[in-house]
Amino acid sequence: MLVQQTKAEFLKLWRVPAFSATSLLLPLVFYSFIGIGQASQVMQGGVRFGAYFLASMAVYAVANVMIFSFGISVATERGMKMDLLMRATPLPPLVYLLSRCVTAVVFAGLTLVVLFPFAYIAGDVRLDASVWFTLAYRVLLGSIPFIALGFAIGYLSGPNSAVAVINLVYLPTAFASGLFFPKQLLPQIIQNISPYLPLYRFGQLGWNAIGYPTSENVTADWLYLAGYGVVFFAIAVWAYRREESRKFS
Amino acid sequence: MAPAAELLDATKKYGEIEALRGVTIRIDLGDVVAMLGPNGAGKTTSISLLLGLRKPTSGKALLFGLEPTNLLVRSRVGVMLQESGVPAMLKVREIVDLFRSYYPTPLPRDRAIAMAGLDEKANALVKELSGGQRQRLYFALAVCGDPDVLFLDEPTVGMDVEGRRSFIDRIAEFARMGRTVVLTTHYLEEADQLAKRVIVIDRGVVIADAPPAEIKSKVAGRRVRFIAPAVSEKDFEGLPVTAVSITDHRVQLLTNRPEAVLRDLFQRGVEISELEVAGADLEDAFIAMTSH
């Protein structure tokens, strides 16, 4: 059941090029435009910009998958009243949720499978095997709060507005968190805000993994993310319950 | 043994609106039941309660004597809902396989697809299906788990006459396997062809529960319209008519015997113009059934 459901969830996403192509290729495009030109520039701690920006894009790509895959599919299925039919089947809701999570993680993994070799070749990024690994597992693990965020957005916004809402929230925060340009280049006011943004904390985990000296220790970043995770999860559960009581009571 | 499906004095309010006002229905294993009624009568609400998609405001809804939300109970039930969507980017055989995986002893995939008459479309994406084909896909999804009870909420809505007929045949085929079928419909012919028992619901209450022939005899079959400059309610006294309405000399009524009614009206000296006799649709007929 779980296998079939996950397979179906994966195909559903994979066959929508607007999702699969953008989540797999957009990070490569950004990396080409921003990362490659200055890849050899050396930053603090002797880290090359190519590696720094790889970490940025890994964080960007994975969080993007989490928010979009959940947000849009939940919103669309609510719009199509698919949730109604699913609820009448013997499929346990937990299996449904789990299959979505597995799919999102697999998809996020795929973006890394594409991004890492690209950075290796085009950005001439050379890292120890253990560093590649640390980067990968940190961005996958750190993305969990964003699953909950996507879920919450999916339940709070309509099928047509979900994309707009997500872009409106995600792109500006990605900029403000220094995922496209290092934080130091941002306006002072944004710099003051960014430490409180979940994506910034998520970014710190990535930059730290490739050896960039981040301002606080990694434990603080994990704790921040865990805190955001709890908040997002609470919102998601609240939104889900609200929907329950409206549609199914 | 507990009945397959049961509503016990069930009521349902949506805010101020009373969709069901004390409905008791018992459906035994092997029954083939049609629920008839005009729009908003409470058919879909009854089905929703039985499926556990909605909770009764008071009273009970049970499947096999248990709560309908119980997953074991659900694994014995197949469902076709009104206007529910399925993922557009999956192929027919993929989504049938997906739904099969929810059930403990599903039908073979090709069999389920064949039962719905979708053999040629097995490899098509859902988004490529026509409206009627999509409806048949829902049927395949409803039967693929080889359920004991099949709930079909207006399964033929939006189909043409031909499509409806062949679809009804497919449901009948499933019922012949000894399964319980509960369907809601607007169409009296469907109930007649398929069901051994018809439950008529109107304004949230059951107003009839009987074999189709018995129900049909109660339903006025013709709608008669005409213009009569000098006519009053009195002229219709003693005639086999129901739901007479007169507005601005325009008369509308329902009857099973239009010839007799018109003959009597002529004898009473009623002048008639622009006469129109048409088959009453069920909506009209139910108004007739409930308005006297």
Q: Where are the alpha helices (DSSP H) in chain A?
A: 2-14, 17-30, 49-79, 82-88, 93-122, 129-142, 144-156, 162-176, 188-193, 198-209, 218-247
pLDDT of the residue at B219: 66
- Identify the band that residue B223 occupies on the pLDDT scale cut at 50, 70 and 90: confident
What's the mean per-residue pLDDT of chain B?
87
Residue range A222-244, pLDDT digits in tens: 999 999 999 999 999 999 888 88
A98 and B CB contact within 8 Å: no
pTM above 0.90, yes or no: no
Nearest-Cα distance to chain A for B23, in Å, is 18
Longest Cα pair distance anywhere in chain A, in angstroms?
Answer: 60
Tell me, what's the pLDDT at B288?
A: 63
Q: Pick from B178, B200, B218: which residue ends a domain?
A: B218
What pLDDT sits at residue B39? 80
Who has greater pLDDT, A23 or B222? A23
CB contact under 8 A, B53 and A88: yes
CATH assignment at residue B80 = 3.40.50.300
Does position A211 have pLDDT exceeding 90, yes or no?
no
Query: Comparing A207 with A162, which gets the higher pLDDT?
Result: A207
Per residue in B200-216, pLDDT (tens digit) is 888 899 988 988 777 76
Residues B13 and B122 in one domain: yes
What are B125-152's pLDDT values in tens digits? Answer: 999 998 888 999 999 999 999 999 999 9
The DSSP secondary structure of B31-94, one letter per residue, reads -EEEEE--TTSSHHHHHHHHTTSS--SEEEEEETTB-TT-HHHHTTEEEE-TT----TTSBHHH
**Among B171, B203, B218, residue at a domain's last position:** B218
Does pLDDT of A174 surpass 70?
Answer: yes
Cβ atoms of B56 and B28 closer than 8 Å: no
- 10 Å CB burial of residue B121 (0-12, 13-18, 19+) is buried
**Same domain as B91, residue B170:** yes
Q: Are B228 and B214 in the same domain?
A: no
- In eight-state DSSP terms, residue B240 is S
Q: What pLDDT score does A113 carry?
A: 95
Residue B15, chain A, CB below 8 Å: the answer is no
Q: Is B18 on the interface with A (CB under 8 A)?
A: no
Distance from CA of A9 to the nearest CA of B (A): 9
Query: End of a domain among B188, B218, B248?
Result: B218
CATH number of the structural domain spanning residue B277: 3.30.70.100
- Res A169 pLDDT > 90: no
Interface test with B, best of A14, A69, A74, A89 (most B CBs within 10 A): A89
The answer to whether the CB atoms of A11 and B90 lie below 8 A apart is yes
Pick the more confident residue, A96 or B286: A96
pLDDT interval class at B283 (50, 70, 90):
low
Domain of residue B139: give its range.
5-218
pLDDT (tens digit per residue) in A176-190: 888 888 878 888 888
Question: Within this chain, do residues B36 and B165 fall inside the same structural domain, yes or no?
Answer: yes
* Higher local confidence (pLDDT), B23 or B159: B23
Confidence of residue B221 (pLDDT cuts 50, 70, 90): confident
Q: What is the pLDDT of residues A86-111, one digit of tens each?
A: 888 999 988 988 999 999 999 999 99
Residues B147 and B253 both lie in one domain: no
Same structural domain, B127 and B266: no
Domain count, chain B: 2
> Which residues of B fall within a CB distance of 8 Å from A88?
51-53, 74, 77, 79, 81
List the strands of the sheet with B273-279, edge to edge: B241-247, B250-255, B222-227, B273-279
Contact B87 A89 (CB under 8 A): no
Question: Is A81 in the B-facing interface, judged by CB distances under 8 Å?
Answer: yes
Answer yes or no: do B97 and B214 share one domain: yes
Contact between chains at B72 and A15 (C-beta distance less than 8 A): no
ipTM of the complex model: 0.84
Do B210 and B229 lie in a common domain?
no
* CA distance readout (Å), A85 to A12, A82, B51, B78, B79: 17, 5, 10, 10, 8
Is A1's Cβ below 8 Å from some Cβ in B?
yes
| B 145-184 near A (Cβ less than 8 A) | 145
Let me know whether B160 and B233 are in one domain.
no
Looking at residue B130, its amino acid is S
Please tell me the number of Cα atoms within 13 Å of B234 on its side-chain side.
Answer: 5
Q: What is the pLDDT of residue B84?
A: 77
